[in-house]
Amino acid sequence: MGNIAKEFLEASELKAFDLGHRKIINYNIGKYDASVARGLSRMINLDNSKKKGHAIKWKVMENLDKLLPEFEANFQKRGGKVIWANDAEEAQREVLNILTKANAKSVIKSKSMATEEIHLNSFLESNNIESLESDLGEYIVQLLGQRPYHIVTPAMHLSKDDIAKLFNERFGTPIDATPEQLTAKARELLREKYLSADAGITGANFLLADTGSIAISENEGNARLSTSFPKIHIAIVGIEKLIPSIADLDLFWPMLSTHGTGQNLTVYNTILSGPRQPGETDGPEEMYVILLDNGRTNLLAQKEQRQGLYCIRCGACLNVCPVYKNIGGHSYETSYTGPIGSVITPHMRGMEDFKHLSYASSLCGACTSVCPVKIDIHKMLLLNRRDAVTEGLIPKKEQWGWALWRKGMMKRKLTDFFGGGVKNWLLRFFFKGTWGHFKEMPVVAEKSFAKQWVERNQPEKEEKD
């Protein structure tokens, strides 16, 4: 077992038995579940909308080589600049080049999973550039020195009291401050940063090919401030975020908001098509879109699993996953957690190191049932498991174990040949480490069901004879 898989099991075990964590997560996800149920009830034909979204994203992935250049050409027509980044290091380097050229010393960021993926904050800090998160949840976890816990709600694992304590220690606010007071303090601290930042960095929810635009959805308005005040705006976006037309937002905006938070529509929805134009008063002087690959084309090459790239990052699959709700977002040690993270991470970061995530599932199918673009998530997890086996990436002990199990299960005599004592020893030898310290190993009966059946029915047969 690799170190990453071992650390995952250890972190999972700690979180699974952390009752305080479980209480907070169940409470917060419970609130989301209620809101999302209300939001989805307002959709007239939800299944049809899901099918349409799936079909559009299928079309995008089949024509990515045509649609990406179309986006690039249309964005450049309005003075924007497109940069292609093959991996995280290249994306980091391109951002640093832009900032160094402008002699930028401070950056204000809005929420972006792509920037988390390339570890942009720590990279900029190591190059003496201040990088501050402006989304309230992201700002809180940044203050704590943590990674986002959830795709949509970065600080989902914290209670109101946890945040009040943090602000009391860092900013001297009352220890019993209300959420409204904490938000007001964060607004006070961040507002001046928008005005003084040399550059604004965002992600994007969608890339619009036909207009050469990016679309950003948010609930706080911080992305609008991050893209309006600074002279430079850099958007770092995964290549899979593409949709063919601005008209497709009519479907994707409501589907994203209802599945993410239960809202009819996210509070702020912004379409940006380049830097400030002549005669315009708002917006940056320079705008860059960095198109990030970073393993996405590896997943695109997988014909059966490429639908993992259809994901619109709503977080719905995380909220229904029994594994995620027990082990928490930080246990995964990846930017993309939960069921969808378990599907895409092995392809983006390497099957050998992250194959274990595809086994961290009950295969209950709840993730598949809630997906707004009908990704067959639990099937993708099984396909990842298959690939791990066919590529010979499972331990020898596991290979031998399954080979013996298969041989035994294919032949009744072999199954009955080994008594309960041998079977119990095999269970302890192969599974004790993965079964868990807090659970007892199952005990196999000394005699198989078939043997017991014969013994119990033999006397009856003899009497009849």
Average pLDDT, rounded, for the chain: 93
Q: Is 462's pLDDT higher than 70? A: no
The candidate with the shortest Cα–Cα distance to 363, out of 383, 349, 346, 348, is 383
pLDDT of residue 459: 63
What pLDDT, in 10s, does the model give residues 78-129? 999 999 999 999 999 999 999 999 999 999 999 999 999 999 999 999 999 9
What pLDDT, in 10s, does the model give residues 60-83? 999 999 999 999 999 999 999 999
User: Among 246-250, 397-401, 433-437, whose mean pLDDT is lowest?
Assistant: 433-437
User: Among 29-38, 101-110, 115-124, 392-401, whose mean pLDDT is lowest?
Assistant: 392-401
444 pLDDT band, cuts 50/70/90, is confident
What pLDDT, in 10s, does the model give residues 145-174? 999 999 999 999 999 999 999 999 999 999
pLDDT of residue 265: 95
Long-range contacts: 137-144, Cβ < 8 Å, 24+?
137/111, 138/109, 138/111, 139/186, 139/190, 140/166, 143/170
287 pLDDT band, cuts 50/70/90, is very high
Domains of the chain: 43-294 (3.40.50.10420), 396-464 (no CATH)
With pLDDT > 70 as the criterion, what percentage of the chain qualifies? 98
Exposure b/e, 354-393, CB count within 10 A at least 16 = b: bbbbbbbbeeeebbbebbbbbbbbbbbbebbbebbeeeee
**Cβ-based neighbour number of residue 235 at 10 Å:** 26
2 pLDDT band, cuts 50/70/90, is confident
Average pLDDT rounded to a whole number, residues 341-353: 96
Q: Is 461's pLDDT higher than 70? A: no
Q: What is the pTM of this model?
A: 0.91
Average pLDDT rounded to a whole number, residues 327-351: 96
pLDDT of residue 1: 64
With pLDDT > 90 as the criterion, what percentage of the chain qualifies? 82
Average pLDDT rounded to a whole number, residues 438-452: 83
Q: Is 242's pLDDT higher than 70? A: yes
Q: Is 280's pLDDT higher than 70? A: yes
Distance CA 288, CA 298 (A): 25
